Amino acid sequence: MKAAWAVSLLIILYLVAQWLMLRPHPEDRRRMRLREQAQKSGWQVRLLKPPAWWTTAPALVARYSWPCPQQALPRCRFLRDAEGRWQALPAGPVPALLQRLRAELLSAVECESAYLHVYWDESGEASDLAPLPALIDELTSSAIDHMS
């Protein structure tokens, strides 16, 4: 009878251990919450291979995209180097707002005609993304200044 209880207990412990192994790691849960909050704020979140122009990127990066259909953004790219300084690709001025952001949070920023793409390691909070839509206004005004 004791052997039956011991076997039953071992089976139950085995099942509980398997269930615990299936649960996401706390860091993964934090990233899921971060992505949900960002999506509720209007960001489009994707995990994908880094763009070809970003040669030092990891194999998979998180890209948060802010849609801006009313404004035609200039096509530009900004990449943070190993020392934490921003550089424009191709060479050019870096918006002041990018210089003021916490450099350790973002890895690269790319503008297309209707989207602002932000690449980062998701180490911050969703509130860290709040100032980035203001970058759109800065980029469009600087593009207008360069055109005139």
The structure's pTM equals 0.74
- The per-residue pLDDT for range 63-85, each reduced to its tens digit, is 988 887 776 777 888 888 888 78
Q: How far apart are CA 119 and CA 47, in angstroms?
A: 10
Q: Has residue 144 got a pLDDT over 60?
A: no
* Measured CA distances, 2 to 8, 9, 10, 120 (Å): 10, 11, 12, 56
Q: How many residues does the chain have?
A: 148
- Domain range annotation of the chain: 26-147
Give residue for tokens 């039953």. 8
Residue 141 binned pLDDT confidence (cut-offs 50, 70, 90): low
Contact 62, 120 (CB under 8 A): yes
Question: Which tokens go with 37?
Answer: 């909050």
